[in-house]
Copies of this chain bind each other. A is one copy, B any other.
């Protein structure tokens, strides 16, 4: 890749490289002859010069690149979150490296080394499960800033949704609609999002002297929602509602009910969490809890920029959405 260098620009403008560098970095405040500056700018334009970031990085020890490491970019929740991160990064002149760990802890671990080599200035991290402690510790020692999004990891700043609260409201809603026999299809163990939602739900039910009739664990995918729901519905014929840890699983459950000939919502209520795009596409429309994924990405990136001054934890409000998958009374 042939490059125009700062030297060539300097030569054309009849100045030294340092002068060009000063113009490039805005370090000419007041004390540079406007004429000189103009000559430099002209040379830059003439040669269509773009400074090499690698050289700059080497010198400044800052890459101007941040990474977002997440489980699956084709999951609408995460792609929205990623857009939020990228938009704030872009505003601050930072580039965004999107790293898709493909729901694999192993791949995630490999990425830590890549990010370290890449020398990213910071990372917004959505862990697959329990992250590799040693690697993460190494990053921290090396001074790479890190903010966790959507899920908690002890000892790191985090931006998350009010999962317990949202889940509790959802439980209240279902109870008020008259549902009693409820199956809960949770997300994966060890993921705070999944656990908070389940606990929030259970605690709220207990206040009414109730508890989920069945609890099963899935992995937040459409497929796991489908198969768990199928299983639960065949084993428990009188089930009144299925509540899933996220919308994708809830939509899987909806399909399972459909395939089993169980009418939703007449015979079975279904609810999810997240309010991703597909939740409004299915019929009946999903009852769910809206989580501001895009804003979560933005907030996470903001915390990353603020660094040490930032709060250790930011909780975003959520909002229950009453769809048509849970009418009754």
Q: Which of A137-145, A236-244, A309-317 contacts B (4 or more CB under 8 A)?
A: A137-145
Contact, CB under 8 Å: B281 / A251: yes
**Contact pick for A119, options B52, B96, B116, B142, CB 8 Å:** B52
* Minimum CB–CB distance for A50 against chain B, Å: 5
Residues of B within 8 A of A96 (CB): 97-99
Q: A114 and B138 in contact (CB under 8 A), knowing A74-B80, A79-B74, A100-B83?
A: no
- A39-69 interface bits toward B, Cβ cutoff 8 Å, 1 = contact, 0 = none: 0000000001011111101100111000000
Q: A52 and B48 in contact (CB under 8 A), knowing A95-B118, A118-B95?
A: no
Give A255's nearest chain B residue, CB to CB.
B281
| Residue A3 interfacial (CB < 8 Å) | yes
Contact, CB under 8 Å: A118 / B83: no
Copies in the complex: 2
Give the docked Cα–Cα distance between A99 and B96 (Å).
8
| Residue A14 interfacial (CB < 8 Å) | no
Give the docked Cα–Cα distance between A107 and B90 (Å).
10
Contact, CB under 8 Å: B52 / A55: no
Give the docked Cα–Cα distance between A244 and B278 (Å).
19
Residues of B within 8 A of A80 (CB): 74
**Contact pick for A50, options B50, B98, B113, CB 8 Å:** B113
Residues of B within 8 A of A83 (CB): 73-74, 100, 102
**Contact pick for A278, options B52, B79, B277, CB 8 Å:** B277
Give A293's nearest chain B residue, CB to CB.
B74
| Residue A11 interfacial (CB < 8 Å) | no
Contact, CB under 8 Å: A100 / B117: no
| Residue A307 interfacial (CB < 8 Å) | no
Give the docked Cα–Cα distance between A100 and B96 (Å).
10
**Contact pick for A54, options B58, B100, B138, CB 8 Å:** B58
In chain A, positions 73-90 with a C-beta closer than 8 Å to chain B are 73-74, 76, 79-80, 82-83, 86-87, 90
13 A-B pairs whose Cβ atoms sit less than 8 Å apart in the complex: A1-B119, A1-B121, A52-B119, A53-B119, A83-B102, A86-B98, A90-B107, A97-B97, A278-B278, A278-B281, A281-B281, A282-B283, A283-B283
A-B interface, 6 closest residue pairs, ranked by CB to CB distance from nearest: A54-B57, A98-B98, A74-B79, A1-B143, A50-B116, A54-B58
Residues in chain A within 8 A of chain B (CB atoms): 1-3, 48, 50-55, 57-58, 61-63, 73-74, 76, 79-80, 82-83, 86-87, 90, 95-100, 102, 107, 113-114, 116-119, 121, 138, 141-144, 251, 277-278, 281-283
